[in-house]
Amino acid sequence: MKFAIAVFSPAHAPSSRRALRFAQAALAGGHEIVRLFFYQDGVHSASGNVVAPQDELDLPAEWRAFVSAQQLDAVVCIAAALRRGVLNAEEAQRYQRPAANLPPPWELSGLGQLHEAAQGADRLMCFGGD
C-alpha cells in the first residue's frame, strides 16, 4: 500500500511521535511512503534549532535520521514554515534573515505537494491538527 503522511502537530506533541512510528512501521511492513508533508505547527519537526530536554526523545533528530536513511520525499509547507520562522538558506537570504534552520533532507514547497501526494497514494494519513 502507498501512504502519504501529513504531520500537523509540533515536534513535542504525541501525535508527531505517532506519525514517526507509523511511518517506520509502514516501511517495515513492506509498504511505501510516497511523501511526508509537514504543515501548520508540524514544520517545527523539521527545524534544526529545536532542542529537546535531555530526558526526552529528540523527535526532530529522529525524523531527520529516518528521512535521510530511507531517502524519503519530505516536504515542509513553505507558507507555514515562513510564518513560523523555519527557513532554508535560500529563504533566509531572500528575506534577509540572519540564519537558516531548515537543513537537508527537508524541502520547502507548497500545499499542492500534499494534494499531489494524496492523489498518488492509496491512503492519506494525517497526524495532529486538532
| pLDDT at 5 (0 to 100) | 98
Asked if residues 19 and 38 have their Cβ atoms less than 8 Å apart, the reply is no
Q: Which helix (H) or strand (E) holds 53?
A: none
Asked if residues 4 and 118 have their Cβ atoms less than 8 Å apart, the reply is yes
| pLDDT at 14 (0 to 100) | 94
| pLDDT at 130 (0 to 100) | 60
Each residue of 52-107: pLDDT tens digit? Answer: 889 988 999 999 999 999 999 999 999 999 999 999 999 999 999 999 999 999 99
Average pLDDT in the 125-130 region?
86
pTM of the model: 0.94
For 23, counting Cβ atoms within 10 Å of its Cβ (0-12 exposed, 13-18 middle, 19+ buried), the class is buried
β-pair partners for 124: 4
Each residue of 7-35: pLDDT tens digit? Answer: 999 988 999 999 999 999 999 999 999 99
The domain limits of the chain are 2-127
User: In this structure, is the dihedral angle defined by the CA atoms of residues 11, 17, 23 and 27, taken in order, positive or negative?
Assistant: positive
User: In this structure, is the dihedral angle defined by the CA atoms of residues 91, 95, 10 and 119, taken in order, positive or negative?
Assistant: negative
Annotated active-site positions, please?
77
Query: What homologous superfamily does CATH list for 2-127?
Result: DsrEFH-like (3.40.1260.10)
